[in-house]
Amino acid sequence: MVFNNVDFDTYFKDYPNKDGFFGKYGGVYVDDKLKAAMKEITEAYFSICQSRKFIAELRRIRTEFQGRPTPITHLERLSNSLGNVQIYAKREDLNHSGAHKLNHCMGEALLAKYMGKKKVIAETGAGQHGVALATAAAYFGLECDIYMGAVDIKKQAPNVARMKILGANVVEVTHGLATLKEAVDAAFEAYSKEYENCIYCIGSVLGPHPFPMMVRDFQSVVGIEAREQFMDMTGHLPDAIVACVGGGSNAAGLFAGFLNDPVDIYGIEPLGRGPKLGDHAASLKFGTEGIMHGFNSIMLKDKNGDPAPVYSVASGLDYPSSGPEHAFLQEIGRVKYDVIDDEETIDAFYKLSRLEGIIPAIESSHAVAYAMKMAKTMGHGSILVNLSGRGDKDMDYVIEHYGIR
């Protein structure tokens, strides 16, 4: 299928190009030392990860450890409460450790092992990426340093405890505002000092090349499984697919299975409290082109051109940019990016819990809310939603701030 001059028959071979660009987005905007490290990872990725041995081992891990394939559930009661449109969910909440993040963490950690690295390094904000990477590191017997802002460490006590139980070393970052941005800086600094012994594991389709490509490829298992399962269940393709977008990894994974199909694709960003800068994290909708954290994409900027403060009820979505592939897919019009606010999200969180017995992550609830909204206006057809994670981590927060509904 050719769409706006992009040939989706050969898309995964063509995008990104060899310099890591999706159109004008992506690239490797880091200093020379880190450039060398990225080159090493890129070369290792193309040789090791395409080898039969690596693929077979990853496939075995996906089955025996992660519990894949995750099922698709027909959300019949939710669908019937809205009209005739049938909504289905790809159940990444049933992936080991409760979210899609382990899909790329296991891939990255396996690559580290094949490269002979002893340690994995990452930053974490809300702690979800840290927990997933600590899980992978424990499985492979790798050391694991997770950089985390002091403020976030206080806020995310259960995830800090999980990382420590799993044997990770949680490194407290105290300078500046002591949140995610400072943690990213500290982790990159540590990495450039010890990159011979370790690899940096980015938590989404973000950062310098090869990470947006590599994380997408590791996540594409979601879309490949989902397409086959959906066809088996219904005999046809879904009319639309929906995923929430923070950095964009669960979305990139689901979309990868359907980009070359006549399927409408929607990526949903958090509108938070509203469209004023600082009240949301809808970077693709309101942002402009710019470079941060080593790549060129669409981002939310403050007056000085620096990454703007962002907000969302879902801590996994509050990042001031999105992956370069999403910026590209928006630009060519293959994927439509839209927004859902906090209130609609909490409503969907409760609807899915009450009507289907599934407590979704607040991040995923954004995608569910959008599917619910679409179902009311579409009239007929089917929608597949990526349920990126389970909501256990969010229950206390929801009850404290929104009460039982």
Ligand X SMILES: *Cc1c(COP(=O)(O)O)cnc(C)c1O
Could you list the active site residues? Answer: 101, 123, 388
> Are the C-beta atoms of 79 and 85 separated by less than 8 Å?
yes
Please report how close the Cβ of residue 85 comes to ligand X at its closest, in angstroms.
Answer: 23
> Are the C-beta atoms of 293 and 207 separated by less than 8 Å?
yes
**Binding range to ligand X, per CB under 6 A, among 5-13, 138-146, 233-241, 248-256:** 248-256
Give the ranges where 28-179 is alpha helix by DSSP (H): 32-48, 52-64, 76-82, 101-114, 128-140, 150-155, 157-165
Is residue 215 helix, strand or coil? helix
One of 44, 361, 369, 378 touching ligand X (CB under 6 A) = 361
Please report how close the Cβ of residue 321 comes to ligand X at its closest, in angstroms.
Answer: 11
Please report how close the Cβ of residue 167 comes to ligand X at its closest, in angstroms.
Answer: 21
**Residue 216 or 351 with smaller CB distance to ligand X:** 216
In one-letter notation, the amino acid at residue 403 is: G
Please report how close the Cβ of residue 352 comes to ligand X at its closest, in angstroms.
Answer: 13
Phi/psi-derived region of residue 38, left when phi > 0, alpha when psi is between -120 and 50, beta in every other case: alpha
Sequence-ordered list of residues with C-beta below 8 angstroms from that of 303, at least 6 positions apart, any chain: none
**Binding pattern to ligand X, positions 122-161, x when CB under 6 A?**
------x---------------------------------
One of 222, 244, 300, 346 touching ligand X (CB under 6 A) = 244
Contact between 280 and ligand X per CB under 6 A: no
Minimal CB distance residue for ligand X: 389
Please report how close the Cβ of residue 317 comes to ligand X at its closest, in angstroms.
Answer: 6
> Are the C-beta atoms of 178 and 151 separated by less than 8 Å?
yes
**Binding range to ligand X, per CB under 6 A, among 168-176, 242-250, 301-309, 394-402:** 242-250
* C-alpha to C-alpha distance for 208 and 27, rounded to whole angstroms: 6
Tokens describing residue 255: 């979309």
**Residue listed under structure tokens 């950062």:** 207
* C-alpha to C-alpha distance for 73 and 256, rounded to whole angstroms: 20
**Residue listed under structure tokens 């403060």:** 309
**Residue 71 or 83 with smaller CB distance to ligand X:** 71
Site for ligand X in 189-228 (CB under 6 A): 204
Tokens describing residue 174: 């105290």
Sign for the CA dihedral angle at 388, 392, 398, 404 comes to positive
Burial of 114 (0-12, 13-18, 19+ CB in 10 A): middle
In one-letter notation, the amino acid at residue 59 is: R
**Binding range to ligand X, per CB under 6 A, among 82-90, 148-156, 245-253, 288-296:** 245-253
**Binding range to ligand X, per CB under 6 A, among 29-37, 51-59, 269-277, 360-368:** 360-368
Please report how close the Cβ of residue 258 comes to ligand X at its closest, in angstroms.
Answer: 16
**Binding pattern to ligand X, positions 68-107, x when CB under 6 A?**
-------------------------------x-x------
One of 107, 247, 307, 320 touching ligand X (CB under 6 A) = 247
User: How many Cβ atoms from other residues are within 10 Å of residue 342's Cβ?
Assistant: 23
Phi/psi-derived region of residue 17, left when phi > 0, alpha when psi is between -120 and 50, beta in every other case: beta
One of 45, 259, 388, 394 touching ligand X (CB under 6 A) = 388
Site for ligand X in 297-356 (CB under 6 A): 316-317
**Residue 148 or 361 with smaller CB distance to ligand X:** 361
**Binding range to ligand X, per CB under 6 A, among 35-43, 184-192, 243-251, 277-285:** 243-251
> What is the number of alpha carbons within 13 Å of residue 172 lying toward its C-beta?
10
**Residue 282 or 378 with smaller CB distance to ligand X:** 282
Tokens describing residue 294: 């080593």
Contact between 250 and ligand X per CB under 6 A: yes
In one-letter notation, the amino acid at residue 249 is: S
**Residue ranges that bind ligand X, judged by CB under 6 A:** 99, 101, 128, 204, 244-251, 316-317, 361, 363-364, 388-389
